[in-house]
């Protein structure tokens, strides 16, 4: 199905199943510990062996020699995979870091070996005895020192509108500040893990990956084998946040280990390895300049962002959202990428917006203060209903102002103290802060297959993944709505490369696009049902397990009595994404208390108001938003990968020292969804919320800390030492 005009009325609009707060259909499996995650596929091959990855002890240089004799002599060792016996490896299309180093080393803890043994303990013991001689080279590990050679990424040329320099010089009120955000880790619950089994020249892996099709493509390229000979199964995934976009070292090395050992092999990244072996979010340095009239109208906006990565790695596009968020006639947006020899930087929940809004929305708070205008009003004054770079291009939907007003009202914003550091409760200073939120709503082709079985059950199959977001449920809801059956009558099968190719989980596109693919497949199935039952497909109504038109009403299951019926299709998005700016919007509010004596910062309450098209499952969507808010609180206050500037690695590479928020850090969170549908987004009229929830949050927290204390911190995380 080609989606090339905004959606009209369709069966989803009945909202019998869609749009209702719905428990996860996979919830019982998860709470009972019977959802099978990648590493838990013990049953797929009874003789499976264990692989343990050995990471490089240097950040840059070469392996001069590997000493494997001691490891080989250990009990139970079956094979050791290194660059010397792995054969040439190709390149994937998403990550630039190679899954197996040698002889060159690209970054610290890059895999230099996989030790395969009968048991995990044996593999771990032998892995500790793998020794390497290195020729260490000087690396570049400090972003601030690497800016001189930074390049403009080909995909992100400088954007200039009007004459920024002149407008900024002429503006009566200006701001020119520099903000920094640190390297951050996904720190998902489930470490990357794979079980690999060869059957002749066919490979099957059970792996924790967000996008099955990318993983299959990349694994095929790396191993130089046809995609058709690879099957990937990713039924349950314990969090990804962008860190499991495609195959990582565990999947490639498990496949190689299984080939060399002639056995099924399972590999999990040990937690202390994962932080440096897999990807992270790049640190940024951002300069923001704002110029405004005294009435608060922005006339000049410049946002320049620098980040680093391995050569040809992804750029953290932290200034990108600034192209669309506020009006302003004269504009400049630039990105620069420096070469760093740190582990590879890649996508982490709301790549671009998450660190970008940490800077922009503090700058807006500072500017509002300079102007003497309320921060909510300042943002409303500068709202735009058109793309500031192309005024003829409108937003598909843009309810930012309504988010701001609703949030201010619900939060009790008008009662705040406008004088920083003025509100005290005993030893605590109390402050409130807010920030706007914006995050793109990208679109991608997504396919599904839907089958009506003889007993009336509806079975959906697509390689779409559920990374903990609730995809199983919204896909089931979509099929139930389309086929007019209760959710309990739908079986959802996900995450298998044998199923039709979906968009996968990423970029908060999964919810809208994957359900739109199911919608398209259901349209086909409805046609097949109508044809078999002798209905006109356009007149037939599917509800209550019946198909009806005029005064004829037939049980849906009757259509499959003579054999199951299948509908398969993909949703393909035409140029609506170019014709309309498609974004999600929100407003975040936060109250903090800061201990006057110690500087300890406690979040007291948080509120998010979101406008993100139709909310398919308000219960799961709320969970996505509060998860994002929690991650944003971490970004504001605790999360930072600390770089060892001489050896080039992340020092705090475990969950004891990379501090993420816990329940006690987040006492009260409220989420409001505006009642919105977006017919431009898809037939579902939905978007996504997984990344909107984090965008802007950290700035709202930082702004609240400023309101409480009068101290403006522009260097994240906002830790207590920066307040004293």
The sign one gets for the Cα dihedral 119, 125, 131, 137 is: positive
- Among the listed ranges 158-166, 265-273, 342-350, 607-615, the one in contact with ligand MOS (CB under 6 A) is 342-350
Q: What is the smallest separation between the CB atom of 504 and ligand MOS, expressed in angstroms?
A: 9
Q: Is the CB of residue 315 less than 8 Å from the CB of residue 153? A: yes
Closer of 220 and 314 to ligand MOS (Cβ)? 314
Q: Is the CB of residue 267 less than 8 Å from the CB of residue 120? A: no
Going by the DSSP 8-state scheme, the letter that residue 581 receives in this structure is B
Q: What is the smallest separation between the CB atom of 671 and ligand MOS, expressed in angstroms?
A: 20
With binding defined as CB under 6 A, does residue 628 bind ligand MOS?
Answer: no
Closer of 114 and 213 to ligand MOS (Cβ)? 213
CB atoms under 10 Å from CB of 115, counted, come to 31
Q: What is the smallest separation between the CB atom of 347 and ligand MOS, expressed in angstroms?
A: 4
Sole binder of ligand MOS in the list 375, 506, 613, 696 (CB under 6 A): 506
Beta strand spans in 550-616 (E):
552-555, 565-573, 583-595, 601-611
The sign one gets for the Cα dihedral 59, 64, 66, 67 is: negative
Closer of 210 and 284 to ligand MOS (Cβ)? 210
CB atoms under 10 Å from CB of 586, counted, come to 31
Sole binder of ligand MOS in the list 22, 185, 210, 515 (CB under 6 A): 210
CA 102 to chain centre: 30
Q: What is the smallest separation between the CB atom of 349 and ligand MOS, expressed in angstroms?
A: 5
Closer of 259 and 439 to ligand MOS (Cβ)? 439
With binding defined as CB under 6 A, does residue 449 bind ligand MOS?
Answer: no
As given in the structure block, the two tokens for residue 523 are 């349209």
With binding defined as CB under 6 A, does residue 356 bind ligand MOS?
Answer: no
Is 691 in the active site? yes
The catalytic residue among 125, 568, 676, 691 is 691
Q: What is the smallest separation between the CB atom of 211 and ligand MOS, expressed in angstroms?
A: 8
With binding defined as CB under 6 A, does residue 348 bind ligand MOS?
Answer: yes
Q: What is the 3-state secondary structure (H, E, C) of 412-431?
A: CHHHCCCCCCCCEECCEEEE
- Among the listed ranges 55-63, 128-136, 162-170, 347-355, the one in contact with ligand MOS (CB under 6 A) is 347-355
Sole binder of ligand MOS in the list 257, 351, 407, 688 (CB under 6 A): 351
- Among the listed ranges 24-32, 42-50, 345-353, 487-495, the one in contact with ligand MOS (CB under 6 A) is 345-353
With binding defined as CB under 6 A, does residue 242 bind ligand MOS?
Answer: yes
| CA distance linking residue 31 with residue 21, whole number of Å | 19
| CA distance linking residue 41 with residue 189, whole number of Å | 18
Q: Is the CB of residue 683 less than 8 Å from the CB of residue 10? A: yes
The bridge status of strand 458-461 relative to strand 490-493 is parallel
Closer of 507 and 693 to ligand MOS (Cβ)? 507
With binding defined as CB under 6 A, does residue 507 bind ligand MOS?
Answer: yes
- Among the listed ranges 123-131, 195-203, 344-352, 378-386, the one in contact with ligand MOS (CB under 6 A) is 344-352
Q: What is the smallest separation between the CB atom of 529 and ligand MOS, expressed in angstroms?
A: 36
With binding defined as CB under 6 A, does residue 184 bind ligand MOS?
Answer: no
Q: What is the smallest separation between the CB atom of 240 and ligand MOS, expressed in angstroms?
A: 6
Question: Which of 237, 238, 322, 250 is closest to 279 using CA atoms?
Answer: 250
Question: Which of 306, 258, 251, 255 is closest to 278 using CA atoms?
Answer: 251
Q: Is the CB of residue 246 less than 8 Å from the CB of residue 218? A: yes
Q: 């219960």: which residue's tokens?
A: 619
Q: What is the smallest separation between the CB atom of 282 and ligand MOS, expressed in angstroms?
A: 12
Going by the DSSP 8-state scheme, the letter that residue 200 receives in this structure is T
**C-alpha distances in Å from residue 169, one per residue of 94, 332, 362, 381, 708:** 42, 14, 22, 21, 32
Phi-psi region of 438 (alpha: psi -120 to 50; beta: other; left: phi over 0): beta
Sole binder of ligand MOS in the list 63, 251, 347, 503 (CB under 6 A): 347
Closer of 500 and 628 to ligand MOS (Cβ)? 628
Q: Which residues are catalytic?
A: 691
Q: Contact positions toward ligand MOS, by CB under 6 A?
A: 210, 240, 242, 347-349, 351, 506-507
């Amino acid at each position: 199905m080609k989606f090339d005009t905004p959606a009209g009325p369709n069966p989803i609009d009945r909202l019998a199943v869609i749009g209702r707060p719905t428990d996860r259909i996979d919830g019982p499996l998860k709470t009972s510990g019977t959802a099978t995650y990648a590493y838990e596929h013990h049953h797929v091959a009874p003789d499976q062996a264990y692989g343990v990855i050995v990471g490089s002890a240097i950040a840059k240089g070469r392996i001069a020699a590997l000493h494997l004799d001691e490891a080989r002599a250990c009990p139970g060792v079956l094979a050791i995979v290194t660059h010397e016996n792995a054969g040439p490896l190709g390149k994937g299309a998403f990550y630039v870091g190679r899954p197996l180093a040698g002889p060159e080393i690209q970054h610290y803890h890059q895999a230099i070996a996989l030790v395969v043994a009968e048991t995990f303990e044996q593999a771990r013991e032998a892995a500790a005895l793998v020794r390497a001689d290195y020729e260490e080279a000087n690396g570049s590990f400090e972003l601030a020192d690497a800016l001189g050679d930074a390049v403009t990424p080909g995909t992100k040329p400088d954007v200039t509108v009007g004459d920024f320099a002149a407008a900024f010089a002429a503006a009566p009120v200006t701001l020119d500040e520099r903000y920094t955000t640190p390297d951050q880790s996904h720190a998902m619950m489930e470490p990357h893990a794979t079980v690999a089994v060869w059957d002749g020249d066919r490979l099957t892996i059970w792996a924790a990956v967000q996008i099955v099709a990318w993983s299959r493509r990349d694994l095929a390229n790396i191993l130089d084998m046809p995609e058709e000979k690879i099957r990937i199964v990713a039924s349950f995934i314990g969090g990804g946040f962008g860190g499991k976009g495609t195959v990582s070292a565990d999947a490639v090395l498990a496949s190689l280990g299984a080939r060399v050992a002639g056995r099924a092999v399972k590999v999990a990244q040990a937690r202390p390895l994962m932080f440096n072996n897999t990807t992270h979010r790049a640190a940024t340095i951002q300069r923001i300049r704002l110029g405004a009239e005294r009435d608060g109208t922005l006339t000049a906006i410049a946002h320049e962002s620098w980040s680093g990565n391995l050569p040809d790695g992804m750029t953290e596009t932290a200034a990108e959202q600034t192209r669309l968020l506020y009006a302003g006639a004269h504009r400049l947006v630039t990105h620069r990428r420096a070469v760093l020899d740190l582990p590879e930087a890649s996508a982490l929940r709301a790549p671009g917006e998450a660190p970008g809004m940490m800077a922009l929305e503090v700058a807006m708070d500072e500017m509002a203060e300079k102007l003497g205008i309320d921060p909510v009003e300042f943002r409303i004054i500068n709202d735009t209903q058109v793309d500031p770079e192309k005024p003829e291009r409108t937003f598909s939907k843009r309810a930012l102002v309504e988010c701001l007003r609703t949030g201010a009202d619900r939060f009790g914003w008008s009662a705040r103290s406008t004088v920083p550091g003025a509100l005290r409760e005993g030893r605590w200073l109390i402050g409130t802060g807010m920030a706007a939120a914006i995050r793109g709503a990208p679109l991608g082709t997504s396919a599904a297959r839907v089958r009506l079985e003889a007993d009336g059950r509806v079975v959906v199959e697509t390689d779409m993944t559920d990374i903990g977001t609730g995809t199983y449920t919204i896909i089931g809801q979509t099929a139930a709505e389309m086929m007019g059956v209760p959710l309990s009558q739908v079986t959802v099968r996900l995450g298998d490369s044998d199923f039709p190719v979906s968009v996968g989980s990423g970029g908060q596109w999964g919810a809208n696009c994957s359900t739109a693919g199911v919608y398209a497949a259901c349209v086909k199935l409805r046609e097949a049902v109508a044809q078999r039952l002798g209905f006109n497909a356009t007149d037939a109504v599917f509800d209550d397990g019946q198909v009806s038109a005029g005064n004829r009403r037939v049980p849906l299951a009757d259509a499959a009595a003579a054999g199951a019926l299948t509908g398969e299709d993909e949703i393909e998005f035409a140029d609506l994404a170019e014709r309309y700016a498609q974004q999600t919007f929100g407003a975040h509010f936060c109250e903090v208390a800061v201990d006057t004596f110690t500087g300890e910062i406690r979040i007291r309450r948080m509120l998010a108001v979101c406008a993100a098209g139709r909310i398919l499952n308000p219960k799961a969507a709320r969970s996505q938003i509060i998860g994002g808010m929690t991650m944003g609180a971490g970004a504001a206050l605790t999360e930072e990968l600390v770089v060892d500037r001489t050896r080039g690695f992340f020092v705090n590479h475990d969950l004891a020292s990379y501090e993420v928020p816990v329940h006690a850090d987040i006492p009260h969170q409220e989420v409001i969804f505006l009642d919105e549908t977006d017919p431009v987004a898809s037939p579902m009229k939905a978007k996504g919320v997984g990344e909107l929830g984090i965008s802007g949050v950290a700035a709202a927290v930082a702004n609240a800390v400023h309101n409480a204390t009068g101290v403006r911190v522009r260097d994240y995380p906002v830790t207590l030492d920066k307040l004293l």
